[in-house]
Structure 1
Amino acid sequence: MKQLLVILMFIGLTGFTPNNSRHISGTVYDDANTALPGVLVVVNGSNITTQTDAKGHYAIDVPKGKTMLTFSFLGFERQSITIGKSNVVDVYFKSATSQLSEVAVVGYQAQKKMSMTGSVSVIKPASGATKQYNFKNADKNKSTTTFGYADATIGNAAPVAEYKPAIADDESYKGITENTFKTAVNEPLSTFSVDVDAASYSNVRRFINGGQLPPADAVRIEEMINYFNYNLAGPTDNEPVAIHTELAAAPWNTQHRLLRIGIKAKTIPTDKLPASNLVFLIDVSGSMNMPNKLPLVKSSLKMLVDKLRPQDKVAIVVYAGAAGVVLPATKGTDKETINNAIDNLSAGGSTAGGEGIKLAYKIAKDNFMKNGNNRVMLATDGDFNVGASSDDDMEKLITSERESGISLSVLGFGMGNYKDSKMETLADKGNGNYAYIDNITEARKTLISEFGGTLFTIAKDVKLQIEFNPAKVQAYRLVGYENRVMAKEDFNNDKKDAGDMGSGHTVTAFYEIVPVGVKDDYSGSVDPLKYQKPKPVTYASASDEMMTIKFRYKQPTSSVSKVSQVAVFDKPLDLKATSTDFRFAAAVAEFGMLLRDSRFKQHSTYDQAIKMARAAKGDDHEGYRAEFVKLAESAKLLSKNPVTATVNEAGDE
């Protein structure tokens, strides 16, 4: 009898439940037998959902008693399929373009457009009574410490709350003022910091797969371009980075040139990378109590735990109404202990993000590894509402901490109350990177496929300065990078912070160039000055150089930068003769301008971007470029009957 009681107590403490679910998997195809990424899969009568990955694959656990799956994707007839004896269920969609004017797939259900207000309909947990929970120190060798506050749960997971629609203006994005054309005579220098973030692309994908065009300020063109890997040669000498250029006619205006600048960071094998001191900072507030938030955070971080090596250490800090340590620094080999701590997290309460960040930095400093990778990894929806919470508060807090040698990477999750503006600021000022994770496939890309680039800095404070030759260049425009533009004096100032690059990272930037002699509708003009007389200027007209690119960076442990430069000659290639990477990246840039309805889109069309991207998929073994083509096709359909999400600008939270 005593043994039975012990067993029952153990079951109650561990939250053990018998496995009565079926693991169903398969592939979803369109009517041309092409695999479809981003298809929503729902277990009927439940909140259990997933999406197909870049190759159209899905896998989902179906509880006992549930017998039907529903598959939804914009532009296709919804399919509800009864599960038979087989655990493999493949699905073949039929096009339903005639229904696009009537129905949009939003969140987890289809809604008639007449019932929508123009704001994105999303999923948000219903508010409920706050319960008393405790954080406990997981270190068995130290006395147990209890943090007494009533906002979050660490222990056996509570049942998932019911869900109700939320308004879209719970999301916030920084306003973007597009870069304009500059005249080479008056402004010959263009200076900017690199950006390896890719959050905008996966967030835009979330909107489009949900049946709506993204708000313009959610579209950061440089992040969309840099979501994809490009086949650039790494440095051949002992330097950490190599730079490449390619020049052709601009696809959206053949009278203009399009310059691609490509940068490739050195790739270091995983076993040669420095040891890591990681602190997982996890938001367990009530807003994270959604299937695509905390459960996805837990699955994502457990994938990263599997990659940890004996020399690596991980601590876990959580925050809700206050912050606490649930796992002290633990060796990477003790995966069971780390995973158990992650499994035992559940959500509830308000959000003291600032306190969590301070505590995470303290733990990172306590375990600091000299010459190691010291990094806080924040997983959140960004909805801070207790203590320091504004974008300015966060910027000040992170700026004061970054001199410690500890980087901050931000992993964004969820929708509805998503605070993109805050998370972009955190990663930018924290010398880290920012990714938006909308499904487990994206988590694998960020944390496994791009493990080295996400976690290990190869070159820091990377910035570029381009000097344009007025004898060749009438005007120019940097495509994207609006929040990375720097003053020309900042290029030589080593105290000015700039973006970092990780192991194997590639960065692509485009300049659109108006050659001398081409009619230009964008540069504008001003009246002659009254008190100053212009002096004649002699240009280097005999030179065939269009511009000189200066490239500055620091070694990871250095405070002094190095500089190199390369000249670009006025010898454009025919667009068809450019690399597949050039054409694909140009297609993504064109797509971004269309989504933003940019006043500089000129002759851009969805058809042109789709055609160019489809012909330039190259070696797409992960399927990401094929997924982009499908995404652009969906956006084209949406653009005919646009339903654009509206959200708050940053600061209106």
Structure 2
Amino acid sequence: MKNLLLPALLALLAPAATAFAQHAPAAVLPDTLHNHEVRGTVREARTGQPLPGTTVLVKGTNTGTSTDQNGYYTLLVPNAPQATLVFSSIGFATVERSVQQARVLNVSLVPDTKQLNETVVTGRGVRGVARAVTGSVSTLAGRVAGVNVDKKSKRGAYEMHDSNQPTGAPYPAQAEAGAGDTYAKVKENAFFTVKNAPLSTFALDVDNASYSNVRRFLNEGQLPPRDAVRVEEMLNYFRYDYAAPPTASPDPVRISTELAVCPWNTAHQLARIGIQAKKVETTQLPPANLVFLVDVSGSMAGPDRLPLVQAGLKLLVKQLRPQDRVALVVYAGAAGLVLPPTPGSQPQVILEAIDRLQAGGSTAGGAGLRLAYSTARQSFNKAGNNRVILASDGDFNVGESSEQALEQLIVDQRESGIFLTVLGCGRGNLRDSRMETLADKGNGNYAYLDNLDEAGRVLVAQFGGTLFTVANDVKLQVEFNPVRVANYRLVGYENRLLEAEDFNNDRKDAGELGAGHTVTALYEIVPVGSPQPLVDQLKYQAEKASPAVVLAQSAGEVLTVKLRYKEPQGNSSKLLTQALTGAPAAIASASPDFRFSAAVAQFGMLLRQSEQRGTATWAATEQLANNARGTDADGYRAELVRLVRLAEGLSGSSGSIGKR
């Protein structure tokens, strides 16, 4: 009986079911009828390495994304038979792939040197190549430039700005005062003779703005100006696996050393000095008293300026704890308080204040700094981290505009215990040297935001290191053993050099170390007895070694590193020392961190067209860096390898040095 009734019942219900399906509102239909998710990995065909920052667009639409540090992407694609994805990256031939019903679409891109050679830089940006895209997806790993998240999609579809729209003033071939980006002149360190100058002294530098700025130039299809390349900031952009201070140690820093054959001059040696600051979990950091000081002048109107700063600050707000407090000060023609000190337990109030910012007017930078410091003092926390975070392109054109006046203002304020972090942004009007100086004088650090991924790295991933200082006025002094070393050269740190007597002078300002920071310094050494001596043997100098030198020789000491630092609230410095001993290792046998740091330094010298670059080539630099990538969890070392290839292509078109 049941077998007879069921078919009859289904026959009666069928028309009603059909009518319901025809007239049901679209909202009840599964979203997968309209879109489906496509994911995959983009790699370089030649090496199989992931390609971060590759643009992935649905052809004929503004929907797109970009690959993360591992070359991975995910995108909602319309369910249309003709749907096609377009994959493009600077220096590679563009590839189109039909989607159809594919859920996984992996792609390999082939290098296209001709594309790089035909790059033209104009006032509208880079033409003739697929522009590198900046920005980020929710994971902070992708790079989508000036994007607006499609509110209708929860999986990361993006509306992208037209790459032919104006993006700022053209990059100047040489930075000149008042025209385009400006950089301080860097006179590269020369070799010193140990017998005449046995001591090398400098202040530590944890800034890394130069690397992200160099990346910006290369991703836009242009070699950076020579003075935009500061080798020490490129070195210190990366994190190295140096030994951390023991848990029971009262010292917040630890020294490590290593010696190997110099890769760009095998007759020389390369000494690596690594400094590791203690790591502090975010939950263990002291309360933060932060004042966001945001430049909202007319020069900040571009999508790579104020909108990028706003997005970065929003990421920081999400890291705040109830015990943290944030205020917001802005300046244009005048300075104003947008948000009084507000606890981290009210993130929505802070986010809404950031959203209300708009650019326009001139730049009263001095007034803004005064108001920001005054606001910070009102909520000063003796046991906390008191800091002003300045975000600007560095153009101060109203009020106290001279560097000397601004420096003095910040020096006066830092004595109160309020430090300064500087976030640079923008192109064509970047006052790089001014912003670096302000950060140095304010006992803080300077970072350049070329995309939202970098903002996340500085303000989220390195929250403690960027904003919490564990050691003040950190100075290094290296003494070389004349029995082992004839000549030496410090690679980078040209604007951090100190006199020998400054090392023991506790009134001399130096660099600051944040929680978890690593600092790397490299010395190129000419060993005694080198077949290529830089200076002939002196005729009138005593040849008999002192007892101390004889003892050092017997111990195999090459050099001794001395480090001085102050506690964050201290006035007297403490001294740490460590000797570097032993014979140099072959470069292939050196640690991955040593080899990678050497590759970064070599890359910087090639970009600067350094007279000290020796036999360095782009190919050798790429190989050295690629073989020392290690685990590379965040993908930044792979990115450097990609940038070396970009630079090689660009230098080939300009007739520069460093060719294969």
- Asked if TM exceeds 0.5, the reply is yes
Of 586, 595, 607, 1:583 maps to 595
- Counterpart of 2:45 in structure 1 is 31
Q: C-alpha deviations, 1:307-359, integer Å up to 9, x for none?
A: 11111000000111111000000001100100111111111121111111111
1:99 aligns with 2:115: yes
Give yes or no for contact 1:212–1:643 (8 Å, CA) kept in 2: no
Of 428, 432, 436, 2:440 maps to 428
Deviation at 1:439, TM superposition (A): 1.0
1:188 aligns with 2:204: no
- Counterpart of 2:215 in structure 1 is 205
Secondary structure of the 2:189 match is coil
Deviation at 1:303, TM superposition (A): 0.8
For the residues of structure 2 that align with 1:201 and 1:304, how far apart are their CA atoms?
Answer: 22
For the residues of structure 1 that align with 2:503 and 2:447, how far apart are their CA atoms?
Answer: 27
1:488 aligns with 2:496: no
Of 460, 472, 485, 1:448 maps to 460
Secondary structure of the 2:200 match is strand
Give yes or no for contact 2:229–2:607 (8 Å, CA) kept in 1: yes
Aligned 1:380-399 pairs, distance under 5 A: 380-399=392-411
- Counterpart of 2:606 in structure 1 is 594
- Counterpart of 1:4 in structure 2 is none
Q: C-alpha deviations, 1:93-132, integer Å up to 9, x for none?
A: 343223332235778765369xxxxxx9x99xxxxxxxxx
Of 357, 366, 386, 1:374 maps to 386
Of 563, 576, 594, 1:551 maps to 563
Distance change in 2, residues 1:400/1:84 (3 Å): farther
Of 171, 191, 210, 1:168 maps to 171
For the residues of structure 2 that align with 1:324 and 1:554, how far apart are their CA atoms?
Answer: 35
For the residues of structure 1 that align with 2:379 and 2:568, how far apart are their CA atoms?
Answer: 19
Gaps in structure 1 of 5+ consecutive residues: 1-20, 114-119, 124-160, 645-653
For the residues of structure 1 that align with 2:474 and 2:328, how far apart are their CA atoms?
Answer: 30
Of 623, 626, 630, 1:618 maps to 630
1:336 aligns with 2:348: yes
Distance change in 2, residues 1:226/1:38 (3 Å): same
Deviation at 1:426, TM superposition (A): 0.9
Q: C-alpha deviations, 1:567-612, integer Å up to 9, x for none?
A: 1224222222221101111110111111111101111111111111
For the residues of structure 2 that align with 1:363 and 1:300, how far apart are their CA atoms?
Answer: 21
Give yes or no for contact 1:106–1:210 (8 Å, CA) kept in 2: no
- Counterpart of 1:222 in structure 2 is 232
- Counterpart of 2:316 in structure 1 is 304
Deviation at 1:434, TM superposition (A): 0.8
1:55 aligns with 2:57: no
Of 481, 487, 491, 1:469 maps to 481
For the residues of structure 2 that align with 1:376 and 1:209, how far apart are their CA atoms?
Answer: 31
For the residues of structure 2 that align with 1:230 and 1:552, how far apart are their CA atoms?
Answer: 21
Of 582, 586, 591, 1:574 maps to 586
For the residues of structure 1 that align with 2:240 and 2:184, how far apart are their CA atoms?
Answer: 28
Q: How many residues are aligned here? A: 575
Deviation at 1:73, TM superposition (A): 2.5
Of 327, 342, 354, 2:339 maps to 327
When the two structures are superposed, what TM-score results if normalisation uses the length of structure 2?
Answer: 0.80
Q: C-alpha deviations, 1:384-405, integer Å up to 9, x for none?
A: 2111223333222222221111
When the two structures are superposed, what TM-score results if normalisation uses the length of structure 1?
Answer: 0.81
1:538 aligns with 2:538: no
Give yes or no for contact 2:260–2:271 (8 Å, CA) kept in 1: yes
Distance change in 2, residues 1:83/1:297 (3 Å): farther
Over aligned residue pairs, what C-alpha RMSD do you find?
3.4
- Counterpart of 1:281 in structure 2 is 293
Of 497, 509, 513, 2:525 maps to 513
Aligned 1:257-272 pairs, distance under 5 A: 257-272=269-284
Give yes or no for contact 1:196–1:226 (8 Å, CA) kept in 2: yes
**Does 1 or 2 have the higher relative contact order (CA < 8 Å, sep 6+)?**
1
Distance change in 2, residues 1:402/1:84 (3 Å): farther
Deviation at 1:54, TM superposition (A): 2.3
For the residues of structure 2 that align with 1:471 and 1:580, how far apart are their CA atoms?
Answer: 29
For the residues of structure 2 that align with 1:623 and 1:112, how far apart are their CA atoms?
Answer: 28
For the residues of structure 1 that align with 2:405 and 2:60, how far apart are their CA atoms?
Answer: 43
Distance change in 2, residues 1:304/1:112 (3 Å): closer
Secondary structure of the 1:191 match is strand
Give yes or no for contact 1:213–1:643 (8 Å, CA) kept in 2: no
Deviation at 1:361, TM superposition (A): 0.6
Question: What residue identity is the alignment partner of 1:291?
Answer: P
Q: C-alpha deviations, 1:374-418, integer Å up to 9, x for none?
A: 000011111221112233332222222211111100111111111
Asked which structure has the greater CA Rg, the reply is 2
Give yes or no for contact 1:40–1:50 (8 Å, CA) kept in 2: yes
For the residues of structure 2 that align with 1:246 and 1:75, how far apart are their CA atoms?
Answer: 36
Q: Please, which moves more after superposition, 342-351 or 184-193?
A: 342-351
Give yes or no for contact 1:472–1:541 (8 Å, CA) kept in 2: no
